[in-house]
């Protein structure tokens, strides 16, 4: 079972995303079994840190299998709505802490229906996508405190020991 680092230890675990060639040396594209939509763009893979790649591949495969490999079901559940992974930036509201997206260790899904800090969101604790990520020990932002809830977000980094 994966034991992801604490957020405070991500720099030593994932490396410094600000370093030259970090992106090319530390990330890979994990193919998604179904087409992803990011606005008007159609994407076939997710850019993720190499240390997360096998786990992400298992999650995507498990979701695809559980939906009966049905693109219609994927669309109905809105799992084709992808809102990004790697993004070199700080945590929103922080002047120093790197976002898990900067480490290519976080993914956002269907932001339109799972707005950050919203009290109501499509994804719930029993949503297939959430269940499959949690089976791989990814952290779901929907479990965070009400003022921090981010139901679109999953990450391969723990908040607490």
Q: Report pLDDT for 139.
A: 97
Question: What is the block-wise mean pLDDT of the chain (161 residues), using blocks of 10 residues?
Answer: 94 97 98 97 97 98 98 98 95 85 98 90 96 98 92 95 77
Query: How far apart are the C-alpha atoms of 48 and 56, rounded to whole Å?
Result: 8
- Contact status, residue 99 vs residue 86, Cβ threshold 8 Å: no
Residue 18 burial (10 A CB sphere; 0-12, 13-18, 19+): exposed
Q: Report pLDDT for 93.
A: 78
Q: Report pLDDT for 54.
A: 98
Q: Where are the domains of the chain?
A: 7-155
Q: Report pLDDT for 130.
A: 98
- pTM, to two decimals: 0.95
Q: Report pLDDT for 161.
A: 77
Q: Report pLDDT for 95.
A: 78
Q: Which CATH number fits domain 7-155: 3.10.20, 3.40.140, 3.30.1380, 3.20.20?
A: 3.30.1380
Q: Report pLDDT for 26.
A: 98
């Amino acid at each position: 079972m994966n034991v992801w680092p604490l957020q405070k230890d991500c720099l030593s675990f994932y490396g410094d995303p600000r370093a030259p060639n970090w992106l090319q040396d530390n990330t890979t594209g994990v193919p998604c079994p179904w087409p992803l939509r990011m606005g008007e763009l159609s994407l076939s893979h997710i850019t993720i840190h190499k240390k997360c790649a096998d786990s992400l591949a298992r999650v995507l495969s498990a979701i695809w299998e559980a939906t009966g490999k049905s693109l219609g079901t994927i669309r109905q559940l809105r799992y084709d709505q992808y809102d990004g992974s790697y993004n070199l930036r700080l945590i929103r509201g922080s002047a120093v802490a790197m976002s898990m997206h900067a480490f290519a260790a976080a993914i956002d899904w269907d932001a339109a229906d799972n707005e950050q800090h919203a009290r109501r969101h499509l994804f719930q604790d029993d949503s297939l996508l959430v269940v499959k990520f949690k089976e791989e020990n990814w952290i779901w932002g929907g479990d965070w405190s009400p003022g921090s809830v981010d139901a679109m977000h999953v990450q391969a980094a723990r908040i607490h020991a």
